[in-house]
Amino acid sequence: MSLLRVCSFAKCLGRRSSADVHRCFAERYQLCVSVRSGAVRRISETPLYRQRRNISSVIPKSEDAKKRVHEQSQLLDVLEARIQQLQSDIVLDVQHAKVQFLKSPSFGGGVSSGRTLKGSSKDKTDIPKSGQMVTTGSFKSQPSRWMEKLSQEKKNKLKKQQHLQQKMQRIIKEKVPEKRKGSKSSLMPTGTTQKTISSAAKKSKGSTKLSDEICSAVSSATAVTAVTSAKVAVASKQKQKDSKSKVSDKETTKTSTTECSGKDEDLAEVEEVEKILNQQVQHRMCSSTMDSSQESSTGSSCVDIRSYMEVCVFVGDIERSQNFLLNQHRVMSRRKRLTTDVYNIMMRVWAKKGMLNQIGRIFILLEEAGLKPNVGSYSAALECMGRSPNCSPKVISRCLNQMKEDGLSVDDLFSQCVFRQDERDMLLKAVQTVKPDYEPSVSLNTSQCSLPLVQDFYTKREHHTYPKLDFTKKELQERFQHQLRVEQACTITIDSVEAMKPVTENMAKMRELLAEQREQWQKVLLQALRENKMILNKTNTKNYKLNLYPYLCLLEDKEYVDIMIQSVTNLPPSGQSLKILARDLGNRIYTKYCVRQKYHNQAVEKLESIYNAYTDLLAKDTQVYNALPREQWCKLEMEQCSGPTLQGEETSWPYIVILELGTFMVDIMVKNLKINSDILNPAYDRKLIPILYHMYAFRSTRQIGFIKPHPILTQMQQEAMETTLTFDSSVMPMLCPPVPWTSVKFGAYLLTPAKLMRTVDGAMQHEQLLEKCQNLHPVFDSLNQLGTCAWKINKPILDIIISIFNDRGSDKLDIPPPLSEAPKIPHFNPNDPTYTASEKAHMKREVISAKKKCGEMHSLRNEALYKLSIAHYMRDELFWFPHNMDFRGRTYPCPPYFNHLGNDVPRAMLVFAEGKPLGPKGLDWLKIHLVNLTGLKKRSSLQGRLEYANSIMEDILDSADNPLNGKKWWMEADEPWQALGCCMEIANAVRSPDPTKFISHFPVHQDGSCNGLQHYAALGRDVIGATSVNLMPCKVPQDVYSGVAKQVEELRARDAAKGLKIAEVLEGFISRKVVKQTVMTVVYGVTRYGGRLQIEKRLKEIDEFPKKHVWDASHYLVRLVFNGLKEMFTGTREIQDWLTESARLISKSGHTVEWVTPLGLPIIQPYHRPRNQVLRSTMQQINLQICHDAKERPDTVKQKNAFPPNFIHSLDSTHMMLTSLYCYSAGLTFVSVHDCFWTHALTVDTMNKICREQFVALHSQPILQELSNFLLHKYCLTIQPEAKNKKYQEHSKLMTLLAKVPQTGDFDLQRVKESTYFFS
């Protein structure tokens, strides 16, 4: 008999309800399920029953027939054992039913089935054990091999369980002397009557488990039904007693199996606790405490399970979610991946339905898994009790008492749980049933940050003047509604700037053709999607495997089709990687799902209410608040605490699921989207051809799948020059101030999901580390400050850029030309015998080069088109950029295309929405800023730059008045478009009646002088290095690049005097430009190989330099540059070497490098040895090279090379955040581009003062010593000194290195406050 028959029996068993009468049937060997209450469920005509009936209905006439009957009886014994294993997989109504066989009346002349009658009162007989013989006459049979194997497995399993039990008891005595009462796993059979539960409660003497109490509550709530069936229970009671001894062996084995499986989990948990206790990791730099909960062992392995179950619940497929959980729970290897939160998903479902009995059974499963109920578990149980009108107060009281024993309070439920819909109200209703006067004591988290760098910022606020926005409360609320509609739609369609071109007849024809084709494609895709969904739904997949079907039911079918059509429209002519295309499709579905989820959870109404109140803080027509945006939002959430929680717990989908979903949709597109081959040329034969092709291409040494559009489609799209572009809503700037970051998972957009920390796709370690941190307030507040800066478009600059873009572009001005300007791809016949082999090779290279150039031009052109179209759409709007950060703490605007972190073009189009008068020095700062943008006077003082600006006022005014037809002086600047914008601002200011009162919106920049080296010099207190990077006050700015070039030239001259040929060749070619990029990037970890490539590129740009010496010269120069830097920055090199060697030893010991910034932000380097994961689809196998898997060993090379630059990046981000916080408290407008700070011309001096003060405050902290202490506590407390082996020697070496912090010099940090050119 196949296993499928057993499974079908289990499913049938789960569908049956309790019988009211215990009946004995006259048919031979009928199969019944008996529960402790005595009720018997009859399984009629199941496959197993029919098999049993067929066995006994035939009277064997020979020894072979007798043998066959005996083997079938043995098979039934195996099936009975298998049924016991499957009982945890059966629907919970019959989870612990005992499978027993009832005797039927014997027929004369029949064959004995091997069962012996034990008396008239015992209707049940035993199946013969494996190894027994069935005697009928002289028939004898030896047990088969699979029967012997089953018997041996049972014996081995029992021995293993006994061994584990003894080991557990020994460990518990040694390590855990005080174990919580009632923690043993024991399963209560479902369907048990009230009397049974009551007797169990008496035996427990007050230590009843919560699962028993919940089952008792269900029984008491259905007392009438219990009374009705009482007679049946009494009638069957005697039979239960008589049969008890018969099945005692089976029950003993089953109970032992259940308890030991739970103890196996407990053993793993105890060992994990022991490991954590031995480590004693102390985080002195971070106030967070490392959580030793179950998630630390499971990591991110249960994310796919949680996301799948939540999706099933969201689409209403409760049965699929329940069966999936039970199948995961049934197998120990899969059960270990489960956490309490996974079980809580089903608890919430049953709580909504008021099914307390189902919640009790989930509690039983938790006990089986060795897991402890958390606040979510008790919240669901109490919520269900609140929904049940007949729930006894005693049950609620017992639940609260059990929760108290587990160390949880009622206040913990209200402060830690994430509520949806009316869950909180039902929970409160249940609690107030037994505590009528109870009100949740949810208080605002007023704990101030204890970090010394920001202590004054949070405690001394009497002189703070937080800025207001130049909007009324009503205007902000209207903007909120507009943004809400945009995000609800998830996409937005805007006009393309190319629409300004006159529409030709051919363009109109192509647009009409495309519209017709898309309408047809929508119908085809809709039909194909529905057919594929039906196939998926009918696919007989195993219950424990993830199925893609629920993910395809989240949205309307038409929405999936619209997403596919949008991806076809945006596909570049050169095609796109299948992996990238699939990722984008999957992410779009996930975004729509998150938005729908928020509406489903009724969180949007509450968001609107809180945001409307939040505008009081920002609006100009309301009172002044002495609170930060995060603090005000949290206060409002506390005041409006009823209803759902805004800070949702949406589980992010695993990267592999997103790819699988996207690949599924790409497959539908490739197979079903077709077009007539003669649509553009009627001379061709008409046939349907695919518009998308799946092909392969090589990237380096890897072969990757590509989706490429047919040339016909590409031609139609290019000739149509469509007037609209469709974007995801997250691509656009926000039309209202962003929601302030208040937690790791909540902030930025209104509905669209956003990550606080940008990570590699699939990396979870950063988010887990952030969630363990208790106080990230400074980081949140800095991101919020950057996000509250309002922007607007500089319309004159935008119009000039669009005019050049729609003409022919300009490489000089960084405006990409159209594809019509691309080089023509040469055509040649490779089989033409007139070409020589070298000529063919040359022609092939030219073809490849031309195709590459065309691809690059198309990419750059589209990028510029997106930026300009977004800017044109926002030209009359005021908008905001929500911010997040990378894993080092560097901040970025969330919208990817158009923001102030872009190149010269988008920066020039952006100005502050709020204007401020120039004041007495504002005009001078505008002029100095203009000279800085030209790059002409970098070695001049500020006064010298100002004088130069005054001397060229004629050119400045000419540029402002006639940018395209005048002298075009601005085009020669390093940043021409920003220079033109500054010229216009200066012209408007000088022509105003009073320049000091001129309202300026133009941002003025102050840039750090080789900021990475500045941090190194400050860390090492290096006087020479500090002077080179302007930490020391000087009359004119010091240029470190020129200094290095001068030193390199001296070394070259010395070598040339010794007769070195390459040194002689380089005479006259060593300049600042040659060495600048290498000097700049050395501090960020560039290797000698990378530095050589940089210098080689610069030398190739010098026409006079002999090309045959480029390689030798670059190899020689990079060595001189590194040696020169080592002499100039001795402290820098020592610190860099210490960081590198520390990371090397840490990663060799099997750990990734972690540290905490002075603002409390935890950082972990996600570099691990790569592993390959294969995603199999109908299209192709996608090989994913995963380099961030925390289960793999660290990549030592990447860890050591990346630690110094990443550490310095974390310091410059800390400096920026400190500056932003204190600028905000001073009422300044402040934004940053990493180490380039922006503000109004009026407030440049104030920002400069704050910038220097915070740099001094930052480096006045013992940064390296605190890093040393953190690394010692993190990595050097695990190995005992008794172990005198190689591992201990490496450990000792690491400990010695970490404890030996590099020595510092004599530089006085306070001098930075006096340095004019530190930032200038």
CB 418 within 8 A of CB 310: no
Radius of gyration of the chain (CA): 37
Q: How far is CA 623 from CA 477, 610, 635, 784, 852, in A?
A: 17, 17, 16, 20, 59
CB 1083 within 8 A of CB 1205: yes
> Tokens 């001259």 — which residue?
1053
Q: What's the token pair of residue 163?
A: 């061994």
The one catalytic residue in 264, 562, 728, 1235 is 1235
Q: Coil, strand, or helix at residue 709? A: strand
Q: Is there a catalytic annotation at residue 1235?
A: yes
User: Which residue intervals of 1101-1187 are DSSP H helices?
Assistant: 1110-1128, 1130-1148
Which residues does 1281 contact at the CB level (< 8 Å), separation at least 6?
Answer: 1288
The one catalytic residue in 242, 412, 761, 1007 is 1007
Measured distance CA(1164)–CA(571) in Å, rounded: 36
Give φ, ψ of 125 to 5 degrees.
-125, 160
CB 577 within 8 A of CB 706: yes
Torsion of the alpha carbons at 1254, 1256, 1257 and 1260, rounded to the nearest 10: 160
Q: At what angle do helices 976-990 and 919-934 cross, to 10 degrees?
A: 150
Cβ-based neighbour number of residue 1184 at 10 Å:
17
CB 885 within 8 A of CB 757: yes
CB 1003 within 8 A of CB 1240: yes
Q: Is there a catalytic annotation at residue 814?
A: no
Which residues does 634 contact at the CB level (< 8 Å), separation at least 6?
Answer: 444, 445, 742
Cβ-based neighbour number of residue 228 at 10 Å:
11
Q: How far is CA 1277 from CA 39, 281, 1272, in A?
A: 59, 8, 7
Which residues does 1306 contact at the CB level (< 8 Å), separation at least 6?
Answer: 1021, 1023
Among 332, 418, 309, 335, smallest CA distance to 374 is for 418
Give φ, ψ of 1271 to 5 degrees.
-65, -35
Among 412, 395, 393, smallest CA distance to 404 is for 412
Bridge pairing between strands 739-743 and 40-42: unpaired
Q: Is there a catalytic annotation at residue 1076?
A: yes
Give φ, ψ of 706 to 5 degrees.
-125, 145
Measured distance CA(871)–CA(876) in Å, rounded: 9
CB 182 within 8 A of CB 209: yes
User: Which residue intervals of 1004-1105 are DSSP H helices?
Assistant: 1011-1020, 1023-1028, 1040-1057, 1061-1065, 1072-1082, 1088-1100
Report the DSSP beta bridge partners of residue 741: none
Identity of residue 731: V
Among 1006, 1049, 1043, smallest CA distance to 1027 is for 1043
Give φ, ψ of 237 to 5 degrees.
-65, -40
The one catalytic residue in 124, 772, 867, 1076 is 1076
Q: What's the angle, vertex CA 537, arms to CA 533 and CA 543, rounded to 5?
A: 140
Measured distance CA(1203)–CA(1195) in Å, rounded: 12
Q: What's the token pair of residue 104?
A: 């039927």
Which residues does 807 contact at the CB level (< 8 Å), separation at least 6?
Answer: none
Q: Coil, strand, or helix at residue 102? A: strand
Measured distance CA(792)–CA(1125) in Å, rounded: 43
CB 606 within 8 A of CB 640: yes
CB 426 within 8 A of CB 386: yes
Q: Which residues are catalytic?
A: 1007, 1076, 1235
